[in-house]
Amino acid sequence: MTTVGFVVHPNRTEAKELAASSKKMLESLGHSVVYLEDDPNLVSECQLVLSLGGDGTMLRAVDIGSLSELPILGVNLGRLGYLTEIEPKDLGTALARYFGGDYRIQRRMILAVTVTGNPELHKSWSHRGDDLAPIRNATALNEVVVERLHSGHVIQVSVEIAGTHFLRYDTDGLIVATPTGSTGYNLSARGPIASPTLEAILLTPISPHMLFDRSMLLAPSESLELKMCEGPPASVMIDGQHVATISSGDSVLCKKASRSAHLVTFDNRRFHEILKVKFGLDSKEMGV
């Protein structure tokens, strides 16, 4: 039988109710359930991770489940989930298909992130429940953002690609995104949309104060290092979570991780169909 690890949105009643009913159903079939946010170390006992919430909950599930490259099934209790696969009403059918082997695994590239610099400035969370401590290594499914802390002050960031200096940016910030994260902050900063199953690294400036204002699409084998120059400090955000404050001399190294996120899919939704819904791309309105 299978041990299923639950990651549940902490503030949504419907997520908690669905978790309770799903737990009862799974246990009636001989499976066992653990709550991974209570103890993420229990992931070592699991064969499947079930995310009940929106994309934010799914990101936490990936953060935990990708450590062992476990299959992760997302149930959408948010608005329009890019990452979640199914709606709550379809969960019973989806689990039956999963246990019957009627599913596919879609691998998504993850970024390995290393923040180096003054430990006194690096304050963050840890999903393993440790006390606040310096963040040195982390992973990102969507994006890493280095962004100014104070309005009215641009930051200066020197960018190295594969160990070679490329350019110094005078900008409000820089986004290093995966294809999965291309439809998030990257898109709002006028970065390109990439199919989420691609392997690539996107670099997009945020309101650059310079002539070169284009995004770049890099090979997954190329590392990106963002080094802070003289000037005001910046915030480091990983998948929407603040992990560090960095200043002159500090750096953020981003590269393709050795592991990937394994998302369970039933081919219910295609990426371009999600885009059409999100952006209201009705064929008649587009002149097709």
**Residues annotated catalytic, as ranges:** 55
DSSP of 224-252 = EEEEE-SSS-EEEEETTEEEEEE-TT-EE
**Which residues make beta-bridge pairs with 265?**
104
Closest CA to 138 of 146, 148, 127: 127
Indicate the burial class of 43 (C-beta count within 10 angstroms; 0-12, 13-18, 19 or more): buried
Cα gap 64→102, rounded to integer Å = 24
Indicate the burial class of 30 (C-beta count within 10 angstroms; 0-12, 13-18, 19 or more): exposed
* H-helix or E-strand spanning residue 5: strand 3-8
**Which residues make beta-bridge pairs with 145?**
175, 237
Cα gap 74→91, rounded to integer Å = 10
In the 8-state DSSP scheme, what is residue 58?
H
* H-helix or E-strand spanning residue 116: strand 104-116
Cα gap 203→15, rounded to integer Å = 35
